[in-house]
Every structure is written in C-alpha cells, then in structure tokens.
Structure 1
Amino acid sequence: MSEDTKKAIHPVDEMLPTSQLFAYGLQHVLAMYAGAVAVPIIVAQAMHLSAEQLIHLINADLFTCGIATLIQTLGFWKVGARIPMIQGVTFASVTPMIVIGSQGGMTAIYGAIIVAGLFTFLIAPYFSRLIRLFPPVVTGTIITIIGITLLPVSVRWITGYAKPTSPEFASPMNLFLAFLTLAIVIIVYRFCKGFLSNISVLIGLIGGTIIATLLGVADFSEVATADWVGFITPFSFGYPTFDIGAILSMIIVMVVVMVETTGDCVAIGEIVGKPMGRKGLAKCLRADGLSTMLGGIFNSFPYTAFAQNVGLLAVTRVKSRFVVAMSGLILVVLGLVPKMAAVVACIPNSVLGGAGIAMFGMIIASGIRALSKVNFEGNYNLMLVAVSIGMSMVTLTEPNFYHNFPSWTAVILHSGITLGSLTAVILNLIFNGFGKEEPVEEED
C-alpha cells in the first residue's frame, strides 16, 4: 500500500493488526462488562427469576450487545454510524421494564421493547428536528433522575432483599462485603490510570467476589452444571404480548435513549475527527432501533451507546471502528458461553451492591456535570430541575402513591424515570418554548 493510500484512509476506517484489534477490543469489553450485565441482573432479581433464567438473560444480553455493536460499527444500507461506538443496555429502561413485568410478565416487556424499537427505527430521520425539545437542562435532569431512581437497587442488594425484622437484613457480613467492594473500586479508580481505572468497577466485583468466596459466602455450584456452549433461542419466555400502556412507556424510554445516543454520537464524532451530520445521526439512531427490536426477539433489552467507552476512546486515542467491531465479536462469543454467565450470576448481592453505589452514583454525577453547564440565571431552569427530580422521587418514597389512578396509567406513573422525564420536557416547553432549531450540516 502506497503512502498516498495510507494517508487517504481516515483513522476511523484504519484496519489494525489482528493482535492489536483483539487487545484494544477486549479493553472496551472489560470497560463496559459490569454495566452490560447489571441490567439483566436487576431485572431478574425484581422478577424473581431462577438462576438458570438469569444465566440465560445474561447470555442473551451479551450476545445481542455484540450484534448491536457490529451493526453500529460496520453498518449496512442506512443503518449504523460506522464509528467506534460500543452498544449496551440502557439503564433508562430498567424501572419501566420492572413495572411492566410486574403487571404483564416478561412477555409484556418484550412486546413493548419490539414496538419501541420499531418506533425508533422509523422516527430516526425526523428525530434530529425534534432535538431542540431536549436542551442540556432537560438531558442533564434526565440523566440525574436515572441515577437517583437506580440507586435504591444497590441498597436493596446490600440488604439482601430481606425484611428489616429479619436477622439477614443488612447483616454485618453483607455490609462488610459491600463496603470492601466499594473501597476496592475507589482505590483502583484513584491510584490506577487509563485502562485499569476504566475497569475499576469490574476489578471491585472480582475482588469482592474472591473475598466472599474465601469467607464461604459465594456459591459457585451453578457454574459446574452450566453448559460450555449455548445458543440464544428467540422468544424463550414465550411470544410477546402487547399492552398499550407498556408500549407507550417504553417509547418514552426510547426517546430518552435517542437523546443519549445523540450526545454520544456527536461526542465520538468529534473525538475521532468524523463530525456527525443529520444523515449520520439518523443512521446511528436506526441502529439503536434495529438492535432494540432484536433485543426483544432474543430475550434482551433496549440498546444505546455506552458512555464510559466514549471516555476510553479519548484516553487510548485509538480511533478505528474495527477495534470496537472486534469488541462486538468478543461479546457474541461470551454470549454463547453459559459458564461465563454462570460465574457472573454467582456474584453475591452484597458485592453487587457495593459496586452499584459507585456505578449508579456515577450516573448521578454525570447528570450533575451536565447540569453544571446550564445557565440558571434570569430563567426558570432551577424550577424545571427541582420539580422534575421531585416528581421522579414520588414513587421512590411511596410506591403505591398512584394506586387510585386507572390501571393503564400505572406503567407510566410508577416509573420515576418516565414521569420525571415527561415532567422535564413539558416544563421546558412551558418555561422556554420550543427553542431555536440550529442548522445541521449534511454529510457528503
């Protein structure tokens, strides 16, 4: 290959040697792995699924994460931004899915996910025209709400889901393992650099689990019985069912996801030197929609870009999309190895709780960081943030607050994320109007 040809290749399209592709790709997988498996664990715990079903959920999630990442990085037709963007399950969907599942079971969750994914795919070309409804004050508020509503999950992990009167409730051993795990995460994050700092949560989970094993708390009996190779069967929990309230709730979640993806897509485009125009953004959002539909089919969940990997791109300065495509291949392989998922499923709840405090707390911190760039002088933004977060916490304080409302509203009203997000959008329209539509450059 001539020097002129090498210079003509954009860094995003550069093909690295296989050994480097694998090393850098594995690094991306390790940086996002803890977050990737958190959602199936949360949902399985809330839905009281068996260990075998949890293993299946984790396998399906990792497998579909890999497929979604390949779609986004390699692309085809008008789907996929063809940038180094790794895909994972969005935390914004957790609370709505638990509410949907508690009323209609897993099949209702997957029916809502499939329809919401189709909605995302179809609306993608038009969404960039609506992005002005989501200024930084709204997106920052939504991110903060997501973290706040997820944080109680880590607390319940630590308490062991026991009643306060039970001797197992927040037992000394649970507290010890939780805070030890949290301490490991903080120490690694503080004193390690780059790659190790990025996987501080994963290192904390591994360290906490090893100590729990030595203390006889962790039980790995399920690993011995798990298969080495497994296949992801569509509709393992049954054919999807479709409830209007559930679908509407999940569509709202996907609108939030589109906002998240837009921010990550623009950020990655700037980092790798490939600015995203409206056409590129539409391709990126279509990939989210298609991947989410596949998630509903393959017993997984809604997908979006993983923000922690955006930071990893900036640290490593490796811009090739084929590196992240390799991450997708690794995730597909991991999803086809049930023993790996069985190991993850055996992590004690108290260890997960300790890591969860850091993980979900970081989401809150990200929201605060976004809000720190918002102007609060001479406008109504302070009230917007206050009321939106306040509304999101109503059901956290009293889960039965809306019990007198019609049943079809339960999926929306009982989700702090959905209700808080709707409040933020509506108040922004009342206080700030539609805003000005900024011109968006088209791609060549």
Structure 2
Amino acid sequence: MQGKHPVDEILPGRQLFLYGLQHVFAMYAGAVAVPLIIAGAAHLAKEQTAFLINADLFTCGIATLIQTIGFWKLGIRLPIIQGVSFAAVTPMVMIASTMGMRGIYGAVIIAGLFAFIFAPYFSKIINFFPPIVTGSVITIIGLSLLPVGINWAAGGTGSPDYGSPTNLMVATLVLISILLLQKYFKGFIANISVLLGLLIGLVVAIPLGMVNLSGLNTAPWLKIDTPFYFGLPTFNVGAVISMILVMLVIMVESTGDFFALGEIVGKEISEDDVARGLRGDGFATMLGGILNAFPYTAFAQNVGLVALSGVKSRFVVATSGIILVALGLFPKLATIVASIPSAVLGGAGIAMFGIVAANGIRTLSRVDFEKNPHNLFIVAISIGIGMIPTLAPEFFKAFPSWCQIIFHSGITLGSLAAIFLNLFFNGGK
C-alpha cells in the first residue's frame, strides 16, 4: 500500500503553525502593497485604508483555503498561497481615479465570473507546457522576483535610507542565518530556517530603531469585513473589459505557477488540476469583489519558500490561510506583522526567489540541447523577453493601456514567448 504523497501529508499542529506563519511572513509585504496603492488612487481616508487592508488579508486567507483544501471543483490542492495580482494594479488605479471603489468591484466581480466559466477551456493549454516551456517559465518567475528581494534588502523602494549600511547589514545577517541553519541543522529546524532568520533579523532590528509599531495602540482588536462596504458595485463596460484582460493574464501566470510548484513538490499537474486551480482563482476574485478585495492569483514568492524549506504539505499553507483570516479580523495582529522591516524581509527574499530560478534551471537540465540546438534559442529568447518589464519598466509606455496590462507582466510575456517559440521550433512537442 502506497503512502500519502507529501502534498497530502498532515503534520503535527506545532509544525503546521510555524511553517504556515513562515509563509505569511514571506508574502505579507506583497499582500498589503496593492490595497495601499489603490487606497491612494481612490483618496481613501486612513480608516478606510485600514479596512481595505484587513478585507484583503481576510479574503487572501479564504482564497488560500479554497486552493489548498479544495471544495467541489474548486482548488488545485497544492501548497499555494493566494494574493492580490499586481497585474491588476494599473487598470484598478485608472478605474479608482474615475469611477471610485464601486467601479473597481463591479469589474472585479464580472472578471472573476469570466475566469470561473472559462477555466475548463483555458486548461486545455496544458499540452503547451513541456519541460522546455515550464523550465523557462520557472526561471523567469525567479529572476522577475529577485529585484523585489534586492530592493527589500536595501530598505524598500522609495525609502529615505535606501541602501544604507544598516539595512544591508541586517539583510546580510538574515541571509547568513538562513544559510547557517540550512548547513548545520536538519529536519524541523532547517525547514523553518526562513522564519528563524526573519526572527533573528527582527531581534537585531529592534534596538537599531528599524521597527515601527505606530498605530498599534489605536488599531481595534476586532474588525469584521462587511460585504459591499463602499456601496453596491457599478458596472462599466470599459472597466469590465480591462479587468477581463487582467484575468487572462492572471490565468497564464497562475498556470505557470501551478507547473512550477508541481515540479518542486514532485506531482504531475493534469488538465483537471489546472481547471480546478483556475476556477479557484475566478471564485476568489468574485468573492474579492463582494468582500472589498481584488483579483487573486498564486503568489510566486511562496513557491520559492516551498522549494527552500522542502515542506510540501498543502495543509501547511491551509494553516497560512487560517492565519491570514485571523489577521484580517484582528487588526492589532496585522499591525505587528506589518512592522517587520523591509531589510529583514530582503535577506529571506534573496534566498527564496533565487531558489525559484534555480529550480527552473534544474527543470531545464532535463531538456536535450545537444540533439536539438533550437531549444537553446527557445530558452534564451523567452527569458530575454520575460525580463523586459523587470529591467526596463518603461519599455512599453508608448503602447495603449490595454496592451500594457499584458506587457506589464514579465511572467506572462515570457510564458507566451516560450509557448509560441516551442510551437515554432518543435511543433509543440
């Protein structure tokens, strides 16, 4: 009798909590960034901004539970954290400045419904993801995320002390701590090396005055997410079309993340898996429109944490979902987690995101470059195209706004390039 796949293994309670908390720390900064940007574009008051962040965390948790545990035909049942897609930021900022939050949520609900219905048809593209494509996409995901970790290590983009010796010292300390824990410890301790590294960095950052707990005293203990807090949604055709384009981009990104995670945990991803995962994205996005949140997708940075920690259980990430729900309900907890300095996150981010790129290279090692030299061109050009938005953010600024929704995502560009180049050179094999 075969044992359970590591993905389906239920670990002891203490391990579930600590591993799950590690995932929350890794994704928290990205999770709260989008609501902060949208709140600024919509000129929301401080209290409304706080509500928006809590609503987002609450819905992140529900979306993560849907993907990890699975309900009916929803959820891919892999260790995937759900978070707000950055692909949706540009159109949502435009909608917020002209139509307000109600216009955003009307477009988000319809776009989520579109993804939910279209998911089984979109999943047919599974045949276009052989190792030459998945390896390229995974590498692009890692390389695209690395600048995020590097900027965190320097103190965060726009920070007045960006690149200061103190920030770099703390980030380096976190990274070295993770490496030492990985080398000299085994099992449980090695698996939570990122969490321990973050805690070591936090302890060092406190006496250096890097930890800001302002707002903790004024934050309420409990805040319930109220559906349609900003009023009933409005439906504008232009806004809906732009958000549907965003969902198509999200579906390409999520599919790439599904295959990346499948490679890491050693589980083959079927057409039905992709359909369930994309339905989960669509349902979570519809829910986001109701619960004052946004479009949701798999968070690529947590794919790196799965690879680095070696913990493959989806129930670990389901625990992360429960923690996110709690953070959304208890603003004081969310304020404490938000106080972790960017430099501390950066030390861990460099390790996690680099591991994603390394896994892509490992997948590409299975590709035959000797008998088929065309494969070299597929990898080279798809990675080159995929890195354009990361290395030159203004590269496509002269294009129409609807084009920029697609071109803004290096993962989408690189995925499409790899798929079409493989079709051109290999006929899709």
* TM-score bucket (shorter structure): 0.7 to 0.9
Superposition map of 1:45-444 within 5 A? 56=51, 59-72=54-67, 75-80=70-75, 83=77, 85-89=78-82, 93-94=85-86, 96-101=87-92, 103-105=94-96, 114-157=109-152, 158-162=154-158, 168-234=161-227, 239=233, 242=239, 244-261=241-258, 264=261, 279=272, 282-298=275-291, 299-304=293-298, 307=303, 328-377=321-370, 378-435=372-429
Q: 1:358 & 1:52 partners in 2: Cα distance?
A: 36
Give the Cα separation in 1 of the matches to 2:179 and 2:171.
12
| Residue 131 of structure 1: how far off its partner (Å) | 0.6
**How far 1:324 sits from its partner (Å)?**
6.6
Bigger shift: residues 220-229 or 40-49: 40-49
Q: 1:365 to 1:66 in 2, by over 3 A?
A: same
Cα contact 2:191–2:309 (8 A) shared by 1:
no
Mean Cα displacement is larger for which, 417-426 or 258-267? 258-267
1:43 aligned partner? 34
Q: 1:407 Cα deviation (Å)?
A: 3.0
Q: Which runs of 5+ in 2 are unaligned?
A: none
The letter of the residue matching 2:121 is Y
Measure, in 2, the Cα distance between the counterparts of 1:324 and 1:354: 22
Q: How far apart are residue 182 of structure 1 and its match? A: 1.9
Q: Distance in 2 between matches of 1:380 and 1:207?
A: 47
Note the alpha carbon deviations across 1:274-320, whole angstroms, 9 max, x for none: x886556644443343224324443154243864686699768xx7x
Q: Closer, same or farther in 2 for the Cα pair 1:387/1:61, shift >3 Å? A: same
- The AA in structure 1 aligned to 2:157 is Y
CA 1:76 to 1:421, structure 2 compared with 1: closer, same or farther past 3 Å? closer
- Whole-angstrom CA distance in 2 between matches of 1:407 and 1:188: 46
Q: Is the 8 A contact 1:99 1:415 kept in 2?
A: no
Change in Cα spacing, 1:128 to 1:149, as seen in structure 2 (3 Å) is closer
**Aligned 8 A contact 1:30 1:199 in 2:** no
Q: TM-score, normalised by structure 2?
A: 0.79
Amino acid at match of 1:431: F
1:33 positional shift: 1.7
State the shift of 1:327 in Å.
Answer: 5.6
Write the distance in 2 (CA, Å) between the matches of 1:243 and 1:370.
38
Tell me the distance in 2 between the aligned counterparts of 1:152 and 1:255: 21
User: Cα gap change, 1:325/1:45 in structure 2, threshold over 3 Å: closer, same or farther?
Assistant: closer
2:30 is the alignment partner of 1:34: no
1:258 is displaced (CA, Å) by: 2.8
Once the two structures are TM-superposed, the CA of residue 71 in structure 1 deviates from its matched residue by 3.1
2:378 maps to a residue whose letter is L
Instruction: Say what the alpha-carbon RMSD is for the aligned residues.
Output: 4.0
**How far has the Cα of 1:244 moved from its partner?**
3.0
2:31·2:83 contact (CA, 8 Å) conserved in 1? no
Q: Measured at CA, do residues 283 and 268 of structure 1 come closer, stay the same or move farther in structure 2, by a change above 3 Å?
A: farther
| SS in structure 2 of the partner of residue 221 of structure 1 | coil
Q: Do the aligned residues in 1 keep the contact of 2:83 with 2:298 (CA within 8 Å)?
A: yes
**8 Å contact 1:175–1:350 — kept in the other structure?**
yes
1:403–1:384 CA distance, 2 compared to 1 (3 A): same
Paired residue secondary structure (2:190): helix
For 2:375, give the aligned amino acid: N
CA distance in 1, matches of 2:113, 2:377: 35
2-structure distance, mates of 1:266, 1:160: 31
- Worse-superposed segment, 365-374 or 322-331: 322-331
Q: Which amino acid aligns with 2:386?
A: S
Shift of 1:342: 0.4
Identity %: 45
Give the Cα–Cα distance (whole angstroms) in 2 for the partners of residues 387 and 252 of structure 1: 20
The 2-side partners of 1:52 and 1:363 are apart by 37
Name the aligned partner's letter for residue 58 of structure 2: F
**Any idea what SS the aligned residue of 1:222 has?**
coil
- SS for the counterpart of 1:214 is coil
Q: TM-score normalised to the size of structure 1?
A: 0.76
SS at structure 2 position matched to 1:229 = coil
Q: Distance in 2 between matches of 1:161 and 1:312?
A: 25
Unaligned runs of 5+ in 1: 1-6, 436-444
Query: For residues 267 and 354 of structure 1, what CA distance do their matches in structure 2 show?
Result: 22
| Residues 33 and 202 in structure 1, CA contact (< 8 A), matched pair in contact too | no
Which secondary structure does the structure 2 equivalent of 1:183 belong to? Answer: helix
CA contact (8 A) 1:39 1:89 kept: no
Change (3 A) 1:89 1:388: same
Q: By how many angstroms is 1:213 displaced?
A: 0.9
Letter in 2 for 1:358: A
C-alpha contact (below 8 Å) 1:80/1:287 kept by paired residues? yes
- Partner of residue 439, structure 1: none
